A and B are shown apart, each in its own frame.
Chain A
Amino acid sequence: MTFKNIKDEFPIFKNKVKGKNLVYLDSANSSQKPKSVINAVSQFYSNEFANVGRGIYTLAINASEKYENTRTNIKKFIGANSNYEIIFTKNATESLNLVASCFGSKFIKKDDEIIITELEHHANYVPWHFLRKKIGAVIKFLPIDLNGNLKIEELESLITSKTKIISVTHMSNVTGTISPLEQIVSIAKKHNIPVCVDGTQGAAHLDVDLEKLDCDFYVFSGHKMYGPTGVGLLALKYKWLESFEPFLGGGGMIDYVSKKDIAYAKGVWKMEAGTMPTAEVIALNESVNFINKLGKDKIISHEANLTKYALEKLKNNNSVKIVAQPNQQGGVFSFNIDKIHSHDVSTILDQEGIAVRGGHHCCQVLHEVLKINSSVRVSFGVYNTEEDIDLLCEGIKKCQKIFQK
């Protein structure tokens, strides 16, 4: 498989939007799905469906095996060694809520401190805010500079004896800033503080090697890596899985239930209560295969080239202000056009078949820090081309033409 004809793998690009070819520049929101993933959902429901982990008949055994195959494949995909386990959840948001809730209820007391950053998506802030409200924990923000780089040199000074966890994004969904995770983990280790990484933007677009990184938690979602919606992931060190109380209670997460007491299941099953998004987990395996076939390193350079091309091209337009240009940037950036609001830009581009997101992208703190109300975001996936960027630039000129009147 190569990038040249990659759009053929994605049925959505056969459709027209407002009579135009779809220019999809919103992969940071959710990625489009290749045929192999869509077919896997259909194949499972058509020929192989049974609930997993319960029945002992052939269909159920085979479904359970496929479900576990995804877990094994995902482990390999993120370089998780035997120290780690993978839990399936509903989405990355649920994974972060699980970490905050389970870690918080066991290890965070009043006045204890949680460090996050100014880059975080609301999903990596609100769950910690719950602990601030419920327990009286304190949230500290690692600041960024004007270019959207984390001021990593200030991390050490934020850490005190009360710091219980550091939770940080792998890559900003607004500025594309890639966090210096190795440095963060190494500083945290000196103080014996666990690190949770929100890898929602990282998993499909950046190198992920948990064995090397050695963070405690790595959170991501299926739908942003060319997989189905409804399935999130949490990689965590086994010691945390063992020490956590279950997040949700119900069927499938128990060993033994009597009127007097209940014994919970061990391992990942403790955290997977009720019927899981079975078809989604099974189809997710195909999205991992899809990424592996293309090759992560090739994907990284493909998206880096697109970002470089786009930023160079947009430089020629004096009315376009890039929100921040960090030193380490993935395939995401945001901009504003002088005197035109992001939602007006988004509506006008939509008429050209161009899908971008306008607004604060679930990052109000970041927008406040950058002193902007909202922005237009461009985010790349494997299917994007330089032509997409050329069309974006033409679309931007149309916005300016309309507003120049």
Chain B
Amino acid sequence: MNTKDLYQEFILDHGTNPRNKFKLAVFNRNTVGFNRLCGDSVHIFINCNNQNIDEISFLGEGCAICIAATSVMTEILKGKSEQDSLGIIRFFLNFVKKSNIENSSALNVLDSNKLKAFQSIANFPMRIKCATLPWLTAEIAIQNKVKEINIEDYN
């Protein structure tokens, strides 16, 4: 376990140059997730039609892990069905805690490889919530449940 496993080039790239970091002009789902321990927050915007995520974007403040996780997530979930997305989210949430990859059928090889970059977070227990925050927030947004979540209340 070392810092370089955590801060891989791929994560640093997404953490410092995030993709899809803007507010969608048209969206029908949005949820803000925050982590009261560190002050990180992500606001997820989704435009869903016919149970499909047509567009997804975010605004937020956070550490490189949090921003990278959000950026990669938006790339992966864009164009997926709601059901597949919820499956991928659950897969990721288990994966970052245990770091063993059991393939999710909804994930293609490209997506799987992207997620592998987050593998070593399991060795940094204090940082797991940095990575799970956007995924939990997206899960709530897709389910159109609530507009604001505190990560402490979710797993």
Contacts and interface: CB of A to CB of B under 8 A. Distances in A.
A340 B7 CA distance: 12
B3 A403 contact: no
State the majority secondary structure of interface residues on B: helix
A405 B3 contact: no
A364 B16 contact: no
A51 to B, nearest CB: 37
Interface stretch (A279-287, A288-296, A341-349): A341-349
Contacts, number: 52
A270 interface: no
Nearest to B4: A402
Contact of A367 (B37, B39, B126, B127): B39
A90 to B, nearest CB: 22
Interface string B3-37: 11011010010011000000000000000000001
B61 interface: yes
Interface residues of B, number: 24
A250 B61 CA distance: 47
A351 interface: yes
Contacts of B115: none
Interface in B122-155: 124, 126-127, 130
A340 B38 CA distance: 14
A358 B38 contact: yes
A402 B5 CA distance: 11
A339 B16 CA distance: 7
B147 to A, nearest CB: 20
Contacts of A367: 39
A402 B3 contact: yes
A359 B39 CA distance: 7
A89 interface: no
Given A340-B64, A360-B39, A373-B39, A351 B3 contact: yes
Contacts of A341: 62-64, 66-67
Contacts of B50: none
Contact of B38 (A339, A343, A348, A403): A343
A359 B127 CA distance: 13
Contacts of A347: 3, 6, 124, 126-127
B108 interface: no
Contact of B64 (A344, A360, A364): A344
Nearest to B13: A405
A343 B3 contact: no
A402 B66 CA distance: 17
A174 to B, nearest CB: 13
Interface in A329-370: 339-344, 347-348, 351, 358-360, 364, 367
Interface in B38-63: 38-40, 61-63
Given A358-B38, A359-B38, A343 B63 contact: yes
A274 B65 CA distance: 46
A10 B128 CA distance: 32
A357 to B, nearest CB: 10
A403 B61 contact: no
Given A351-B2, A402-B4, A344 B65 contact: yes
A374 interface: yes
Contacts of A351: 2-3
B7 A348 contact: yes
A347 B65 CA distance: 11
B150 to A, nearest CB: 14
A317 B38 CA distance: 25
Contact of A344 (B7, B9, B61): B7
Contacts of A403: 7, 12, 16, 64
A339 B64 CA distance: 9
Interface in A237-283: none
Given A339-B16, A341-B62, A364 B4 contact: no
Contacts of A340: 64
12 contacts: A340-B64, A343-B127, A344-B64, A351-B3, A359-B37, A359-B39, A373-B40, A373-B62, A374-B39, A402-B3, A403-B64, A405-B12
Interface of A: 339-344, 347-348, 351, 358-360, 364, 367, 373-374, 402-403, 405
Q: Which 7 A-B pairs have the closest CB atoms?
A: A341-B63, A343-B63, A373-B61, A351-B3, A360-B39, A359-B38, A344-B64
